[in-house]
Amino acid sequence: MLEEPTIKIENVVATSTIGSELNLRAITLALDGAEYEPEQFPGIVYRIKDPKTATLIFRSGKIVCTGAKSVADVKRAIKKVVQRLTEAGFEVNQKPEVVVQNIVATTDLKKVLNLNTIAISLGLENVEYEPEQFPGLVYRIEEPKIVALLFGSGKVVCTGAKKKEDLALAVKKIQTELTNAGLL
């Protein structure tokens, strides 16, 4: 029986729409700590301490939240931005829909991996492994649609997930395939 590895979420990136046309200069003045340098980047960078996130606010009313460790933290961060903008007198959507774009997570298979052998056994159509370019093996999983980076140490980084359950499925799939091939 395979041991269930611990999956640690490192970053959740999500988007939302909080308005239709925002005055970024006015918002920058109203939000303490907001950074806006239109020559460098077309949106406001607004960092929140709790939950520790960075939100990018665009003139179109779109907002991107990054750096969260959970979907709940993303929702809390966006709610805080909405609350602070409302308190500053801006008209914004009070209940914006939050859409998760990407979840990055790590796990440890607790075994040293022979990436050369794995590259051959997993099949070339889903694997990229060029150790002179990058020390990890890139494994593209079709279902759920996730990209996993496998390292010789047994550590795995998964990216592309839209929900936490997909991460568990992907890791289980990797474990099963490697075990069936006698590589884990």
- 57 phi and psi angles, rounded to 5 deg: -110, 125
Kindly tell me if the per-residue pLDDT of 126 is higher than 70: yes
Domain at 14-100: CATH code: 3.30.310.10
Q: What is the mean pLDDT of residues 157-174?
A: 95
Give Cα separations from 32 to 19, 86, 88, 176 (angstroms).
20, 14, 11, 50
Kindly tell me if the per-residue pLDDT of 1 is higher than 70: no
CATH of 109-180 given 3.30.310.10, 3.40.1350.10, 3.30.470.20, 3.90.1150.10? 3.30.310.10
Percent of the chain clearing pLDDT 90 (strictly above): 89
- The angle at the Cα of 79, spanning 75 to 80, to the nearest 5 degrees, equals 120
CATH 3.30.310.10 residue spans of the chain: 14-100, 109-180
At 20 the pLDDT is 85
